[in-house]
Amino acid sequence: MKDVYDAIPKVELHCHVEGTIRPSTVAELAKKNGRALPVGNVEDLYRYDSLNGFLEIFWFVQEMLADQGDWERIAYESIVDAVPHGLRYRETFFTPARHLRAGQDLGGIVDGLTRGLEAAEAETGVGSMLICDMDRAYGGAAGLELVDRLVELRKAGRAARVIGVGMDSTELGVDLHDYVPAYELARSARLRCTAHAGEDTGPLNIWTAVEVLKVERIDHGLSILEDAELTKRASAERIALTVCPNSNVVIANKVETLSAHPFRRMREAGLLATLNTDDPAMTDLDLGKEYRTVAEALDLSLQDMAAVALDGVEATWLEDAGKRDLRARFLAELEPVLSA
Ligand SMILES: [Zn+2]
């Protein structure tokens, strides 16, 4: 019988396409690119004993994406692998800074990703859009340059699937004010805006993203409850948080165990807190497992998890009619799950 948590229909708003790559695909791309795997056995690729160990593999995997065909392949596989676990719609991050620095062209990367997503949609019926992330390790000027190039592509009709911009990578030692010009340009080009914030830092980081960068969503937002006023404002304005509890335990090491994670308290405080996998392949995760482990660790009922899934629809950047259609579909799919 199908796992009940896999059967819950879900959207996903915080998933990095570079973190979805199957170990077997990494091995094939490494062979194609003439590179040796850093581990003897491909099954051990995504096993780490430290954050540094994780980052080492993360960078290795990034380097395997060498041409348009590679981007197309990982985009396609990222969707078909997630559908059996309940994925019905996704807004996927890609972070091209490192690849652009190595001489790849943003247009080529976007074309590859788009072809992969289109093929997956034709096969599974699951739609997905893209969010272009600035990598904070490269600084505000590189961020502005990236958004500028993206806006150019959109004007040329080449990046219709890229509906927003975000930022990720390191939080410590980064002044978010450096990214104001990039976000202003994105907004003026009618791109939606989000940012990773409050993952490794306190609530001031989230305040700055909301107040100064004027983002509409917060990715992670783990520290938000430390500030009562910010919590009140985010819940009143329905500012969505794309929370990734398993990632916070495994990658950021900010929460010792899932049962110590504030996700349940975020929901009880009225926040529009959604559930997401961040880098699922690299953490032995999928959406069904994310829902199941969080429900079990925080003692949330199936009804609670259905509410989380429906809040995911509200938090998307779909037009109102698209949200209504998806919500109706979710309710129809949830009915047998909840009455079983
Ligand atoms: Zn992330």
CATH number at residue 280: 3.20.20.140
Residue 219 forms part of a structural domain: yes
Query: What per-residue confidence (pLDDT) applies to 37?
Result: 92
Kindly state the average pLDDT of the residues 286-293. 98
For residue 228, the SS3 value is helix
Outline where DSSP puts E strands in the chain: 10-12, 87-94, 127-135, 162-168, 192-197, 217-220, 240-243, 273-275
Residue 89 forms part of a structural domain: yes
Amino acid, res. 113: L
Residue 49 forms part of a structural domain: no
Lowest mean per-residue pLDDT among 57-61, 73-77, 201-205: 57-61
Q: What separation in Å is there between the alpha carbon of 230 and the centre of ligand 1?
A: 21
Residue 31 forms part of a structural domain: no
Residue 272 forms part of a structural domain: yes
Residues with a beta carbon under 5 angstroms from ion ligand 1: 278
Percent of the residues in the chain that have a pLDDT greater than 90, as a whole number: 90
R_g of the chain computed on alpha carbons: 19
CA distance 323 to 317: 9
Outline where DSSP puts E strands in 139-223: 162-168, 192-197, 217-220
Q: What separation in Å is there between the alpha carbon of 272 and the centre of ligand 1?
A: 17
Q: What separation in Å is there between the alpha carbon of 338 and the centre of ligand 1?
A: 30
Q: Where are the alpha helices (DSSP H) in 180-220?
A: 180-188, 203-211
Query: What per-residue confidence (pLDDT) applies to 175?
Result: 95
Q: What separation in Å is there between the alpha carbon of 339 and the centre of ligand 1?
A: 34
Q: What separation in Å is there between the alpha carbon of 340 and the centre of ligand 1?
A: 34
| 90 strand-pairing partners | 12, 128
Q: Is the pTM of this model over 0.95?
A: yes
Q: What separation in Å is there between the alpha carbon of 123 and the centre of ligand 1?
A: 27
Query: What per-residue confidence (pLDDT) applies to 53?
Result: 82
Query: What per-residue confidence (pLDDT) applies to 1?
Result: 54
Which is it for the CA torsion 254, 257, 262, 264, positive or negative?
Answer: positive
Neighbours of 32 (CB within 10 A): 13
Query: What per-residue confidence (pLDDT) applies to 172?
Result: 87
State the catalytic residue, choosing from 12, 18, 72, 199.
199
CA distance 98 to 32: 20
Residue 55 forms part of a structural domain: no
On whether the CB atoms of residues 212 and 177 are closer than 8 A, the answer is yes
- Give buried/exposed letters for 283-307 (b at 16+ CB in 10 A, else e): bebbbbbbbbbbbebbebebeebbe
Domain that holds residue 151: 4-21+64-339
The encoded tokens of residue 58 equal 């993360």
Give the chain's mean pLDDT. Answer: 96
Query: What per-residue confidence (pLDDT) applies to 296?
Result: 98
Neighbours of 59 (CB within 10 A): 10
How many structural domains does the chain have? 1
Residue 51 forms part of a structural domain: no
Kindly state the average pLDDT of the residues 265-274. 98
199 given a catalytic annotation: yes
| 196 strand-pairing partners | 219
CA distance 61 to 284: 15
On whether the CB atoms of residues 43 and 284 are closer than 8 A, the answer is no
Kindly state the average pLDDT of the residues 170-179. 92
Residue 315 forms part of a structural domain: yes
